[in-house]
Amino acid sequence: MHAHMNRAVPILLALIIAFSLGASLAAAESVTGHADFVTATGFRFSYSFSAIRHADGSVSGEFENHVENAQTGEFLLKAHVRIICFTINGNVARIGGFIERQTGLPLPPGVTEGFFTVVDNGEGDAATPDLASPPALGLALPHCETGLPRPLFPITRGNIQVQP
């Protein structure tokens, strides 16, 4: 009986640890997706992003943005951003980060951060299209914490997933 007990304890301990890790991983928040849309001023945005809040509260993720003139197809800029923060409020996510690379239009001197907002309106043919804002230059943390006003446009291609 004692030998069976000694073998059962490590197995039980392994199951408890596995369950705890699975529960903590499942509790992590995330915002992921791809958005293509055209603004009223004629800019076509195409961006993909992934932002994850880990069990320890840290945030990781990336954002890749491509902008062109919707009328002519002229390339305007491409940017890569390392995500440092995000906040979820219902189906709305505010995301911000550090601009690591940008080609095309130059960044203004001293600008190193940007932010954007997305809205997940659900799935399926009957769902209202998801919404996305054009990225803006400015401090990421204030946008993540309190939200700075951003115009939102229905995406024409892509899908936004907000997982609180």
Q: Return the number of other C-beta atoms located less than 10 Å from residue 133's C-beta.
A: 22
pLDDT score recorded for residue 77:
97
58-67 long-range CB contacts below 8 Å, 24 or more apart?
59/83, 59/84, 59/85, 59/86, 61/31, 61/86, 61/95, 61/97, 63/95, 63/97, 63/116, 63/135, 65/135, 67/43, 67/104
Residue 8 has pLDDT above 50, yes or no: no
pLDDT score recorded for residue 124:
82
Over range 40-58, report the average pLDDT: 97
How sure is the predictor about 13, in pLDDT bands with cuts at 50, 70 and 90? very low
How sure is the predictor about 117, in pLDDT bands with cuts at 50, 70 and 90? very high
* d(C-alpha 64, C-alpha 102), whole Å: 10
**Parallel/antiparallel/unpaired status of strands 153-154 and 131-132:** antiparallel
How sure is the predictor about 27, in pLDDT bands with cuts at 50, 70 and 90? low
Lowest-confidence segment of 8-17, 23-32, 71-80, 105-114 by average pLDDT: 8-17
pLDDT score recorded for residue 122:
95
CB 14 within 8 Å of CB 22: no
How much of the chain, in percent, has pLDDT values that exceed 90? 79
Which of 24 and 151 is assigned the larger pLDDT?
Answer: 151
CB 24 within 8 Å of CB 154: no
Over range 3-18, report the average pLDDT: 42
Residue 40 has pLDDT above 70, yes or no: yes
Q: Return the number of other C-beta atoms located less than 10 Å from residue 31's C-beta.
A: 25
Over range 105-128, report the average pLDDT: 94
pTM of the model: 0.82
Residue-averaged pLDDT of the chain: 88
